[in-house]
Amino acid sequence: DVKVTQSSRYLVKRTGEKVFLECVQDMDHENMFWYRQDPGLGLRLIYFSYDVKMKEKGDIPEGYSVSREKKERFSLILESASTNQTSMYLCASSLPPRGSSYEQYFGPGTRLTVT
């Protein structure tokens, strides 16, 4: 069974704080992803990584950075949290796609509130 874990289920931070969200997967997946999910907007991709020390910007990378020093771990960093970063953050991992056979496995999410 694939397991993706995230460091916190709920987090409350103040504006301007540096925030670290950690994600760990135990299935030796090459790909890892960070999304945020907001009502009416669905899931939006922030950053992704296809390998250790590799990262690529998603659709909304502004205000975020990532780190992938080990294959199983992908960290999302908010350098200076702002109230518009209040959201549900979801991490996912996957093997590379093989034709139409492809699945991303999600962690339980971290609900971040920035006050």
Partner 1 sequence: RKEVEQDPGPFNVPEGATVAFNCTYSNSASQSFFWYRQDCRKEPKLLMSVYSSGNEDGRFTAQLNRASQYISLLIRDSKLSDSATYLCVVNPAQGGKLIFGQGTELSVKP
Chain residues in the site for partner 1 (CB under 8 A): 31, 33, 35, 40-45, 48, 50, 58, 90, 94, 96-97, 99-104, 106-109
Question: What distance lies between CA 18 and its chain's CA centroid?
Answer: 16
Q: How far is the CB of 48 from partner 1 (least distance, A)?
A: 6
Q: Compute and round to an integer the Cα radius of gyration of the chain.
A: 14
Q: How far is the CB of 15 from partner 1 (least distance, A)?
A: 26
Q: How far is the CB of 83 from partner 1 (least distance, A)?
A: 22
Listing DSSP states for 61-94 in one string gives: -TTEEEEEEETTEEEEEESS--GGG-EEEEEEEE
Give the nearer residue to partner 1 in terms of CB position, either 10 or 84: 10
